[in-house]
Amino acid sequence: GWLRELRAFRRRHTSAVSLGAGFTMAVPVHMPTPYSLVELPERFEVLFEQSAKAFCPRCNGVPSDPALCLLCGSFLCVQSFCCQEDGIGECNMHMKTCGGTIGVFLLVKKCGLVLLHHDNGCFMSAPYLDQHGEVDLGLKRGRPLFLNQGRYEEMRRLVLTQKIPVFIARKIDQSFDIGGWVSL
3-state secondary structure of 44: helix
Q: Which of 101, 130, 121, 113 is nearest to 70 (CA)?
A: 113
pLDDT at 28: 55
Instruction: For 62-116, write each residue's pLDDT tens digit.
Output: 888 999 999 999 999 888 888 788 888 888 889 988 888 899 999 999 999 999 9
pLDDT of 86 reads 87
CA 44, CA 33: separation in Å to the nearest integer?
26
31: amino acid identity, one letter = M
Mean pLDDT of 120-136: 92
Greater pLDDT, 46 or 100: 46
pLDDT of residue 81: 82
Provide the strand spans (E) within the chain: 66-69, 75-77, 102-107, 112-117, 120-125, 128-129, 146-147
* Buried/exposed code over 56-86 (b: 16+ C-beta within 10 A; e: otherwise): bebeeeebeebbbbbbeebbbbbbbeebbee
- Taking all residues of the chain, what is their mean pLDDT, rounded to a whole number? 83
d(C-alpha 56, C-alpha 83), whole Å: 9
74 close to 81: Cβ distance less than 8 angstroms: no
Determine contact, residues 32/26, Cβ cutoff 8 Å. Answer: no
25 has a pLDDT exceeding 60: no
pLDDT at 1: 64
